Amino acid sequence: MNKEFKTVKESQVTISELMLPSHSNFNGKIHGGYVLSLLDQIAFACASKHSGEYCVTASVDTVDFLRPIDIGELVTMKASVNYVGNTSMVIGIRVEAENIQTGDVKHCNSSYITMVAKDKNGDSVKIPGLILEDENEKRRFLKSVKRIKIKRHRSDEFNETDFSSEKYLEEFSSYRVQIV
């Protein structure tokens, strides 16, 4: 059932999981790699729900770890399609952790992941457009457009720059490096 346009709400996904000791790092906090795995899973679910197709991760654009997550907290991830192109979409994810004894909730992570819809042959396929229904959805869409432009500009700048070390000898002096 592939529509020409879908609302943001039609593709939203929420998952919750209790954080266990097996998810923790050596510091007793939930391992960032485990959180990244959950982010990729919910991005896949949200993108596939929007596109009606199998989706793959094209890039992890932003992952901001804002606060640590403790063992025993209930982590809830909320994913929405923030932007759509022809075959790709940007999935915005908010991660909150709740202390289930006190009810205190903290915002722990915000992430943006670009997903691409694929057919059975692995070719990219056109996805439905996005119906923006409120100011928040419009703001998220426009922020995604800005992030995409910044990403392209950064990529162009890196590709056009000659990083020959002799051109940057003076710059090395401002960093904690030794040139041998």
Structure confidence by residue, pLDDT tens digits, 88-122: 999 999 999 999 999 999 999 999 999 999 999 99
57/89 Cα distance (integer angstroms): 10
The verdict on pTM exceeding 0.95 is no
pLDDT in tens, 25-78: 999 899 999 999 999 999 999 999 999 999 999 999 999 999 999 999 999 999
What's the pLDDT score for residue 2? 56
16/130 Cα distance (integer angstroms): 26
The residues, ordered by sequence, that sit 6+ positions from 84 with a Cβ below 8 Å of its Cβ are 50, 90, 127, 128, 129, 130
124/117 Cα distance (integer angstroms): 6
Give the residue among 75, 77, 74, 116 at the shortest CA–CA distance from 94.
Answer: 77
> Which domains are assigned to the chain?
5-131 (3.10.129.10)
Which amino acid appears at position 46 of this protein?
C
